[in-house]
Chains A and B, each alone.
Chain A
Amino acid sequence: DTGVSQNPRHKITKRGQNVTFRCDPISEHNRLYWYRQTLGQGPEFLTYFQNEAQLEKSRLLSDRFSAERPKGSFSTLEIQRTEQGDSAMYLCASSPSTSGGFYNEQFFGPGTRLTVL
């Protein structure tokens, strides 16, 4: 399977615990995006990487959130001291080029659903 993969698919945790999600983009895709989707809403941008550099973080990404993309390959998103409001689907997407262009499509993974009890 050469698509974007995310693990775990589901995560249930207690409030105050730390969680980490992993995203494996399509091979050689330079850009990697994290989005958060709450129930009944569209995804919202969290942060993105160009290769290993994290170029922008949304205001939605509080200090409890941190993301990395070592060596420009897979990426991790960590949430510290989880809160019930963090419950959501966390989506990862990758795109093949750092340039723009019509066909610079973002390919999405299946997401990680987080439930904070």
Chain B
Amino acid sequence: AQTVTQSQPEMSVQEAETVTLSCTYDTSESDYYLFWYKQPPSRQMILVIRQEAYKQQNATENRFSVNFQKAAKSFSLKISDSQLGDAAMYFCAYRMDTGRRALTFGSGTRLQVQP
């Protein structure tokens, strides 16, 4: 079974600074996708960034980028130029490309942004 581990329950960053959230996962599959979701206090889950396992190039979306290390099964999220609106729970998630394709989530990291 696939598992996703986020070892940082809480992180704090100063506004305009950079923060990295960690995620590791375990799978025996070779084709899969990885995601970072943001869940603000209103609790609606929003997709931040996604990565295909077969792509070596790390995904980037504006201020958000990932460091994907397939051999190490590591998928960290870097947020640059942090903004107050970035404060939220961040969940790392895994999805296979076959079968039910349900997401397997980590336990989340609460990010606080200090003004």
A binds B: yes
Binding site for B on A (CB under 8 A): 31, 33, 35, 40-45, 48, 55-56, 89, 91, 93, 95, 100-102, 104-106, 108-111
> Could you say which residues of chain A place their CB within 8 Å of the CB of B100?
45, 48, 55-56
Main secondary structure of the interface of B (DSSP, over half): loop
> Could you say which residues of chain B place their CB within 8 Å of the CB of A106?
103
Please name 6 further chain A to chain B contacts, defined as beta carbons within 8 Å, in addition to the given A35-B103, A110-B44, sorted by A numbering.
A33-B102, A40-B107, A42-B91, A89-B43, A105-B47, A110-B42
Contact A100 B50 (CB under 8 A): no
Once A and B bind, how many residue pairs between them come within 8 Å at the CB atom? 55
A48 to B99, CA, bound (A): 11
B100 to chain A: closest residue by CB: A56
Contact B101 A104 (CB under 8 A): yes
Binding site for A on B (CB under 8 A): 4, 33, 42-47, 50, 52, 91, 93, 97-98, 100-108
Closest 5 CB pairs of A and B: A42-B105, A108-B45, A100-B97, A45-B102, A110-B44
> Could you say which residues of chain B place their CB within 8 Å of the CB of A40?
107-108
> Could you say which residues of chain B place their CB within 8 Å of the CB of A43?
45, 91, 103, 105
> Could you say which residues of chain A place their CB within 8 Å of the CB of B50?
102, 105
A105 to chain B: closest residue by CB: B47
A89 to chain B: closest residue by CB: B43
B66 CB, nearest partner CB in chain A, Å: 14
